[in-house]
Structure 1
Amino acid sequence: MLGVLGEVIWPGVGGKILIVAVMLSTIATLETTLIQVTRTLFAMGRDHTIPAAFGHSHPKWRTPAFATLVVVGVSLVLFIGSNFLGSIGEILNNAISSIGLQIAFYYALAGIAVVVAYRKIIFKSVKNFIFIGLWPALGALFMVWIFVVSIPSLDTIVVVIGIGALALGIVPMILFWKKGKAYFSRRPLELPDELDATAPAGVDDAPVK
């Protein structure tokens, strides 16, 4: 298919060049995804919100080696499993649909977290009320609505994957809540001066990087 398209756009070597370009683009995308996921796991392991092994870096290369190996292992399992569970296209379609469901839940949770975390200063000013209270709350309600109305239109396998993955996340959250309670309790954002002045005493003011 790519070869035919390349011949139409650029006869001769066009098909071969297009195939190489797509291959390089795919490799770059995979590398970007790998870096993003491993860095997230590394940061969570460092902050003790998941097992501390994820927060260890390679002594020589200074990369999140354990997190990288775990991600590669999971990817291989999913790739091999795709040969037995159905076509790769079908699995990717179900995975993408389930991720959309999870994203709606995640953003709803993020909006609720903002309101709850800053509830003591929401009514300190009109700006606080709009940008810390009203806007995140409306966004959370909208995403909850999207989450709920999307479920009936999705295939059963998509709903099971999406909600099942969310449910699995409860397990590590419970296991590491006590160990990482200070991380979850601190302010997640660096606040403007007018908010800092009214922030609860004893809360870490260092910005999260």
Structure 2
Amino acid sequence: MTASSSPAPAPSDGKGLARGQLGLLGSTVMGLASTAPVYSLVATLGFVITAVGVQAPIAFIVAFVPMLFIAFAYRELNRAVPDCGTTFTWATKAFGPWVGWLGGWGVAVAGIIVLANLAQIAGIYFWLLIGQTELSENTVVVTITGVVFIAAMVYVSYRGLEIGERLQNVLLGIQYLALALFVVFAVGSVFAGTAPAGATPVSLDWFNPLGFGSFDGFTEAVLLALFIYWGWDTCLALNEETRDPKRIPGQAALLSILVLMFTYVAVAVAAIAYAGVDALADQDDVFLVVKDALFGPWAWLLVLAVLISAVSSTQTTVLPTARGTLSMAVYHALPARFGQVHPRFRTPGFSTLTMGIVAIAYYVGMTFVSENLLADSIYSLGLAIAFYYAVTGYACVWYFRRELFTSAYNVFYKFLFPLLGAVLLTIAFVKSAIDMFDPDYGYTVLFGVGGVFVVGVGALLLGVVLAIVWSLFPSAKPFFRGESLNAATPVLVPEDPETITRSVDGGRA
């Protein structure tokens, strides 16, 4: 069929997802919720303080910089190609099908691994909230509870983005209420002179980027802090369901990162000023250390906030991964069933359910095979995140390569910032991989090296194997031959995959 008899589809044809569901506020809420700000602080702050002491606030600021640079790359690519496949779509258009497929795989791997972690945290903190400490330490009970939370959030995601947005508004509001009260109570106690003996006066030295005591401590802290910003790109994965797909998602991503940076710095300053470095160092949960003294009978609010943070992020993690696999299927990079959209709810039904099933299987399997291996897989998460964020930064530079120096705006936002962000994340990837290779890193040793390294690198290499296997199937040929998705493919694709191939073939002829 010729190009003239099968014209390129209009952008309004889309993939069948519901349109106009999110505004700027809703999109920003989704980006913030995806990062699980309360849980991110719980899991990271104590170890950042261990690495650099009172320099923790500046560590969060330094880690913010590459995230900001990559957010500019996302914004510019989204303006040109507002496709819910994000990294997969953009990397394919820039570098071809193989890099694009692996970029999409990196997003999926990160989502699956973090869902297992979030489910475990939700299971533990649910029982702590209701005072059942013994049950919170029971592996079977916690695992069953975590599975229930995953299933519930998958159901919410399956039913539609509108109900998910309403739920996230409430859940994020509770999280920020708890964090705001933490900062107010801690700072107020310091000024009132009622803080514990370890209280430390706030100093401008805490914000000195040259004040780190050692380079190793600096890199460890920044690497820890770097990845607690992860999740803001959910805004971009929901672009086709946002009211202004080319503008709002990018703005929401930048707003999310800025809010997160101020949140993390404020909480770090308040915690150190109130309790001091010695009380917080090496703590798995800094809030548990101070909650009773600081909140008194309201200490349960911090436990609730951690639970809500994990549950909230569970739902918002399902959203981008399901839409990523939807986009991959539409372009023949995955089996066609992943591209099915629910006729009533207008969500990627099959992809959403599949993501939930895979996450549950991974969580249950890893828990009962080895909880230590599950923990190491969580520690390896940073590799997948750094990989696909860096790929996106490089894709931005290459995709816009013909216009990079046509204006000062392009030099900074399409070239310099994305490139710097990608290079910094590449360095973080390499440094993390080297550290993880050490047998003493993490809880397990596999093949004589750190289990974290084996799981993290192995998960990414598994994507290479799966891509090769899928490329052998006839239905995958249009994608791997560069026919169903390339630089000339229309921005938003029609629901009929055959039309995509025909229109792109015609455009290339």
Unaligned runs of 5+ in 1: 187-202
Distance 1:56 1:120, change over 3 A: same
Matched residue type, 2:435: S
1:31 aligns to 2:315 (yes or no): yes
- SS of the residue corresponding to residue 401 of structure 2 reads coil
Aligned partner of 1:93 in structure 2 is 375
Structure 1 residues 34-113: aligned runs within 5 Å: 34-87=318-371, 90-113=372-395
1:118-150 Cα distance to aligned partner (Å, 9 max, x none):
222223334333332233222222221111122
Aligned partner of 1:179 in structure 2 is 479
Distance 1:206 1:86, change over 3 A: closer
Aligned partner of 1:136 in structure 2 is 418
- SS of the residue corresponding to residue 122 of structure 1 reads coil
- Offset, 1:20: 7.0
Task: Give distance in 1, aligned partners of 2:419 and 2:303.
Answer: 47
- Offset, 1:100: 0.7
1:166 aligns to 2:460 (yes or no): yes
Task: Give distance in 2, aligned partners of 1:81 and 1:205.
Answer: 41
1:137-167 Cα distance to aligned partner (Å, 9 max, x none):
2222222111112222123221122222222
- Offset, 1:7: 8.5
Contact 2:366 2:374 in 1 (8 A): no
Which of the residues 396, 400, 417 maps onto 1:114? 396
- Offset, 1:61: 4.2
- Offset, 1:49: 2.6
Task: Give distance in 2, aligned partners of 1:112 and 1:177.
Answer: 26
1:63-95 Cα distance to aligned partner (Å, 9 max, x none):
3222123212212221321333222xx445323
Contact 1:45 1:52 in 2 (8 A): yes
Task: Give distance in 2, aligned partners of 1:172 and 1:81.
Answer: 20
What is the percentage of aligned positions where both structures have the same residue? Answer: 35
Task: Give distance in 2, aligned partners of 1:78 and 1:207.
Answer: 33
Task: Give distance in 2, aligned partners of 1:20 and 1:116.
Answer: 45
- SS of the residue corresponding to residue 169 of structure 1 reads helix
Task: Give distance in 1, aligned partners of 2:311 and 2:324.
Answer: 20
Contact 1:104 1:147 in 2 (8 A): yes
Matched residue type, 2:479: K
Q: Judge which range, 113-122 or 126-135, deviates more.
A: 126-135
Task: Give distance in 1, aligned partners of 2:300 and 2:401.
Answer: 59
Task: Give distance in 1, aligned partners of 2:305 and 2:418.
Answer: 41
Contact 1:50 1:172 in 2 (8 A): no
Task: Give distance in 1, aligned partners of 2:317 and 2:404.
Answer: 37
- Offset, 1:56: 0.6
Contact 1:104 1:146 in 2 (8 A): yes
- Offset, 1:19: 7.1
Task: Give distance in 2, aligned partners of 1:7 and 1:133.
Answer: 49
Aligned partner of 1:157 in structure 2 is 451
Question: Normalization by structure 1: what TM-score?
Answer: 0.69
Q: Compare relative contact order (CA 8 Å, sep 6+) and give the higher one, 1 or 2.
A: 2
